[in-house]
Amino acid sequence: MDADKPAASEPGTAPTPSHQKVWDIPTRLFHWSLVICIGLSWWSVENKRMDIHYWSGLVALGLLVFRIYWGFAGPETVRFARFIKGPREVVRYLRRLFRTGYRASFGHNPLGALSVIALLLAVAIQVGLGLFASDTSYVSSGPLSHLVDYEASEDITDLHEDFFNVLMFVIGLHLAAIVFYLAVKRINLVWPMVTGSRSAENAEGPPAGIAPISLLRLCIGIVLAAGAVWLIAR
């Protein structure tokens, strides 16, 4: 795809889109819902509202289940097979990043993919630990804490509390990357995650962007996420 501005459309042909759709609605809802869940989980602990903490953790679990499924069934920009690259591709991308004529990647770039996977893993570990944690201070326990003995649950609780610092570090790196692209490359990564689209100029991928999502696949993902939460919480 040429980096030049799209030429004027010829009579009888469809005009070249000025905006490229990169993120579908389910992906955007997942992203901002996870942000809310993490913030709410922190707030609920600080304010001793463990009832809210319990459910924010379960909602985060459902979101993770959906995102993992969507990484195989969703549109091209969110599929793991498309954006997860090997070390060579990451190095090539780093070389290209600081050259003139840089073009925005279609979805996650190879370096950003590492950030996304690290963030998903960190949230998964934090949520997984929380399922088995117990909190004697507020008389609250994770929904699976009964599957381990009290001593093990106490150890898991300590890990759950300590690992939150790791999660904050990973989130910090994620935010630092967003600031870098905005300040240095003049690329706003946040706004497309709100609207779903960005300028099609100097961007990789098809001008129109992602193809329409399958409603059936979306429904399957919602059922899987809701089913996982139900099985854990019942």
How many domains are contained in the chain? 1
pLDDT band at 102 (very low <50, low <70, confident <90, very high): confident
Q: Which two tokens stand for residue 123?
A: 């949230």
Q: Which residues, 6 or more positions from 230, have their beta carbon under 8 angstroms from its beta carbon?
A: none
State how far Cα 110 lies from the chain centre: 15
Residue range(s) defining the domain that contains residue 49: 21-233
Cα separation, 193 vs 112, whole angstroms: 14
Residue 79 falls inside a structural domain:
yes
Enumerate the H helices of 184-214 as residue ranges.
Answer: 190-195
Cα separation, 136 vs 98, whole angstroms: 52
State how far Cα 40 lies from the chain centre: 17
pLDDT of 103 higher than 70: yes
Residue 13 falls inside a structural domain:
no
Residue 65 falls inside a structural domain:
yes
pTM over 0.75: yes
CB 111 within 8 A of CB 94: yes
Q: What is the dihedral of CA 96, 193, 28, 16, to 10 degrees?
A: -80
Residue 37 falls inside a structural domain:
yes
Residue 197 falls inside a structural domain:
yes
Q: Which residue has the tokens 């097979």?
A: 81
pLDDT of 167 higher than 60: yes
Residue 211 falls inside a structural domain:
yes
Enumerate the H helices of the chain as residue ranges.
Answer: 25-46, 50-73, 80-83, 87-97, 110-132, 150-183, 190-195, 215-233
Cα separation, 6 vs 166, whole angstroms: 44
Residue 15 falls inside a structural domain:
no
- Tell me 209's DSSP state: B
pLDDT band at 4 (very low <50, low <70, confident <90, very high): very low
Q: What interhelical angle do 50-73 and 215-233 show, nearest 10?
A: 150
Residue 197 φ/ψ, nearest 5 degrees: -130, 165
The tens digit of pLDDT for each residue in 37-73 reads 999 999 999 999 999 999 999 999 999 999 999 999 9
pLDDT of residue 3: 38
CATH of residue 139's domain is 1.20.950
pLDDT of residue 9: 43
pLDDT of 88 higher than 60: yes
Residue 101 falls inside a structural domain:
yes
